[in-house]
């Protein structure tokens, strides 16, 4: 059984870019709902998986969209919280150099990130990713899709493009949300660790493992 991870900051820590009200709905209702449904699906098959990553890859390979969607949304949201920080940061070190080399500067990366998010049709996620060769990319994925099913890609940052991520604060202004998000919320220290891992120095973030001692139950 997977647990709903706690937010790494208080509900009001990301204001004004992201309100406490949005975070309460987003984490306590949406993310919690994905965790609950995933646990119910796993209970139905009576197995405790080794990791959430194995569930996502299994569901992807076996064309099990309901399992994939819930498992990937659990993973994506857990990653999303960690990819944000209450401190306004800027990239530094090797990641800053890679941004400069790939995009020119942080403002150009922001432009590419916001444009990718605004141009993405419907729900999904916009990511900053790194390949093995230090090359950075901005890309979006649809609905629950994540980067685990795309070989050779390590996520550094992600922003949620589902309307539940911004509608209470920005209504239909996805661009305004993405601009405010990029200016205030990226956790560049987390992104830097992910970047190091993408180059073989350390391990990328993994979702917390399921509780091994917990008996799977439909009454999760
Ligand atoms: Fe979300």
Residue 114 Cα to ligand 1 middle (Å): 17
Across the beta sheet with 154-160, what order do the strands follow?
Answer: 136-142, 124-130, 154-160
Residue 84 Cα to ligand 1 middle (Å): 13
Global pTM reads 0.94
Alpha-carbon span 80 to 156, nearest angstrom? 10
Residue 81 Cα to ligand 1 middle (Å): 10
Could you read off the pLDDT of 32-45 as tens digits, one per residue? 999 999 999 999 88
Residue 93 Cα to ligand 1 middle (Å): 30
The DSSP bridge pattern shows strands 136-142 and 124-130 to be antiparallel
Residue 164 Cα to ligand 1 middle (Å): 6
Residue 166 Cα to ligand 1 middle (Å): 9
Residue 137 is given by DSSP the state E
Q: Is it the case that residue 218 has pLDDT exceeding 80?
A: no
Alpha-carbon span 168 to 137, nearest angstrom? 29
Q: Which of 36, 30, 32 is nearest to 168 (CA)?
A: 30
Could you read off the pLDDT of 180-210 as tens digits, one per residue? 999 999 999 999 999 999 999 999 999 999 9
Residue 136 Cα to ligand 1 middle (Å): 24
Backbone angle region of 164, left / alpha / beta, with phi > 0 → left and psi within -120 to 50 → alpha: alpha
Answer whether 195's CB lies under 8 Å from 94's CB. Answer: yes
Domains of the chain: 20-82 (1.10.287.990), 93-198 (3.55.40.20)
Residue 146 Cα to ligand 1 middle (Å): 13
Residue 31 Cα to ligand 1 middle (Å): 7
Could you read off the pLDDT of 58-117 as tens digits, one per residue? 999 988 899 999 999 999 999 999 999 999 889 999 999 999 999 999 999 999 999 999
Residue 77 Cα to ligand 1 middle (Å): 6
Answer whether 127's CB lies under 8 Å from 142's CB. Answer: no
């Amino acid at each position: 059984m997977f647990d709903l991870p706690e937010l790494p900051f208080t509900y009001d820590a990301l204001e004004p870019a992201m309100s406490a009200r949005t975070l309460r709905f987003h984490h306590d209702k949406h993310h919690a709902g994905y965790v609950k449904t995933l646990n119910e699906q796993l209970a139905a098959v009576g197995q405790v998986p080794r990791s959430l990553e194995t569930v996502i890859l299994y569901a992807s390979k076996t064309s099990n969209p309901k399992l994939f969607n819930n498992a990937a949304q659990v993973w994506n949201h857990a990653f999303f919280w960690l990819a944000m920080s209450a401190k306004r940061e800027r990239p530094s070190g090797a990641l800053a150099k890679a941004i400069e080399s790939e995009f020119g500067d942080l403002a150009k990366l922001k432009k590419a990130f916001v444009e990718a998010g605004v141009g993405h049709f419907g729900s999904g996620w916009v990511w900053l990713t790194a390949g093995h060769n230090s090359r950075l990319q901005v890309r979006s994925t649809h609905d629950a899709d994540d980067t685990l099913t795309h070989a050779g890609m390590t996520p550094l940052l992600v922003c949620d493009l589902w309307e539940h991520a911004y509608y209470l604060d920005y209504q239909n202004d996805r661009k305004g949300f993405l601009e405010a998000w990029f200016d205030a919320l990226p956790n560049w220290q987390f992104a830097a660790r992910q970047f190091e891992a993408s180059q073989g120095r350390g391990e990328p973030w993994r979702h917390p493992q399921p509780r091994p001692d917990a008996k799977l139950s439909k009454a999760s």
